[in-house]
Amino acid sequence: MEFPLSREVVPRLEYLAEAGSTNDVLVEHATGADAAAWPDLSVVVTDNQTRGRGRLGRTWLAPTGKSLAISVLLRPVLAGGAALPTDRLGWFPLLAGAAMTLAVRQVVEESIVPAPAGDLREEETPRHEVTLKWPNDVLIDGYKVSGILSELLPGARGLVIGAGLNVSLDEHDLPTLTSTSLLLVTGSAPDPDAVLARYLTELRDLTRAFLAADADPVASGLLQGVTGLCGTLGSAVRVELPGGSDLVGTATGLDTLGRLIVRDQSNGELQAVAAGDVTHLRY
C-alpha cells in the first residue's frame, strides 16, 4: 500500500506488510542509531499487526487487511524551542483521541445519503454519534472503533502515539461485543489512505496549535475541543483505578492537566483521575 494522501501530511511514513507492534518498531527507530532520520510526525503503519497492545495490557488483534495499526512519533517542543513541561505530556493521549474522533466523524458524516427533494425525512441513512471516551477510545453509538496507546521515549525525549482503527471488519471479525467498524457503520469500506490522512492531519494541526500556545490547553483551545468531543462527561461511570479500587460516580469535566473529574456517588466529593479504565454505566 502506498498511502499517497497520508505521505503528503507527514515527513516520513513507512508501511509494513506485517508488524508485531508498530509502537515497538517506531520506538526502536526513534531511539536507535538512525534516530535523526525519524523526525517529528514520522509514521509507521500496517494492516497486519500480530502482537498489538492496548491499554492495561490488553491485546489488539484483527484479521489481515481489515484494520490499521498506526504509530506516530512526536518530538514536541514549545514555540520558542524550549522543552515541553512534563506535566503537559498527559494531554497528548487526549489530543490523539480527539484527532481520531474528528477523523472518524468526518468519514461517518460523509456516508449519510441526503433524502430526495420533497421527502420529509432528514436523510436516507441514520446519523451516528461519534464521541471520545476518556482518555482515548473512539466510540460510534457507544461501540468502540478505535483505541490509542501512548508510550514515552526514554528521558522524555518524545513519545509514540499508537492507534488501532477498525476499518472493514464485519460482524464475525469483531474482537468484542462492544466493538464496531467503519464498514459496519457506513455500509461500505472506506479508503484506508483517506482515513489515515485525515487522522494525521488532525493530529498534526492540534499538536501545532497546542505547542504554539506554549502547551496551554486553555489558550490553545484543546481543553474546550476535547470537552466538546468527550461523551464521558455527564455520564455515570465506574473507574477502575490503579491498585484495584473502583470509583463510581458522575464524570463532570476535565481539569487543566487533562484529568477526569468524577463526583463520587458515595460522598459527593470531586476526585481527579489521571489514569484508570472507565466504563460508562447505563441505569
Together in a domain, 183 and 111: yes
Together in a domain, 227 and 249: no
Together in a domain, 148 and 202: yes
Together in a domain, 223 and 253: no
Tell me which residue range forms the domain holding 39: 4-231
CATH number at residue 271: 2.30.30.100
Phi, psi of 147 (to 5 degrees): -135, 155
Together in a domain, 104 and 152: yes
The pLDDT assigned to 200 comes to 98
How much is the pTM?
0.91
Which has the closest alpha carbon to 169: 181, 185, 187, 186? 181
- The CB density around residue 235, as the number of other CB atoms within 10 Å, is 18
| Total count of domains within the chain | 2
Together in a domain, 130 and 257: no
Together in a domain, 30 and 90: yes
Average pLDDT over residues 193-199: 97
Together in a domain, 218 and 240: no
Together in a domain, 183 and 259: no
Spatial contact of 269 and 261, defined as CB atoms under 8 Å apart: no
Note the pLDDT tens digit of each residue in 137-191. Answer: 999 999 999 999 999 998 878 999 999 999 999 998 888 889 999 999 999 989 9
Spatial contact of 107 and 138, defined as CB atoms under 8 Å apart: no
Residue 114 grid cell: 441526503
Residue 176 grid cell: 468484542
The pLDDT assigned to 53 comes to 59
Cα–Cα distance between 174 and 183 in angstroms, integer?
Answer: 12
Average pLDDT over residues 193-205: 98
Cα–Cα distance between 167 and 115 in angstroms, integer?
Answer: 26
SS3 for 26-39 is HHHHHHCCCHHHCC
Together in a domain, 67 and 112: yes
Together in a domain, 147 and 122: yes
**Residue that terminates a domain, selected from 189, 205, 231:** 231
Q: Is 35 exposed, middle or buried (0-12, 13-18, 19+ CB in 10 A)?
A: middle
Together in a domain, 124 and 11: yes
Note the pLDDT tens digit of each residue in 97-153. Answer: 999 999 999 999 998 766 565 555 555 556 899 999 998 899 999 999 999 999 999
CATH number at residue 49: 3.30.930.10
